[in-house]
Amino acid sequence: MPDATTIDAPAAGSAPAPAPRRAPAGDRGDHPRIETISAVTLATGHMALAVAFYEKLGFAVASGGGDAEFTTLAAGAQRLNLTAEAGRGSAAWWGRVIFHVADVDAAHRAVSARGIQPDFTPRDAPWGERYFHMTDPDGHEISFARPLT
């Protein structure tokens, strides 16, 4: 029987074996398997302004609209919901929504041409994405990004 130092050792010149996938702590298979995020819902104090902003980003109104209490916007198979919450005040920074696009620089030019002022020009991040941020009319941080190749 080999000793403990040779059991998982890769053959000379080969790549190390990948680490085994581990189930979440306490996973007994008795919870639902999450497959994808169906939609993200953002609160807005002014539905018409928010709908116009997201339409400039390329979203299409799937239901609702500028005068609705609830609007669903579509980008391919993905959904972004807006819910009218006037009078609730604004929350402290909550995070951001990141959308992958085919070409970050082209997306930056396109949204700028539509009158949206991104927070900065596209940049390469140390975590391996090219990205830029912008802020919607309700203060939600929106990012367009693409993994670097």
| 43-101: pLDDT as tens digits | 898 999 999 999 999 999 999 999 999 999 999 888 999 999 876 655 566 768 889 89
**5 or 125, greater pLDDT:** 125
Domains (ranges, CATH) in the chain?
Answer: 39-86+96-147 (3.10.180.10)
- What count of other Cβ atoms lies within 10 Å of the Cβ of residue 61? 16
Query: What pLDDT, on the 0 to 100 scale, is given for residue 126?
Result: 87
pLDDT beyond 90 at 8 = no
The DSSP string of 40-87 is: EEEEES-HHHHHHHHHHTT-EEEE--TTSSEEEEEETTEEEEEEE-TT
| Cα–Cα distance list, 98 to 10, 60, 118, 127, 129 (Å) | 39, 17, 14, 14, 11
Q: Beta strand pairing status for 39-44 and 60-63?
A: unpaired
3-state secondary structure of 109: helix
pTM value? 0.67
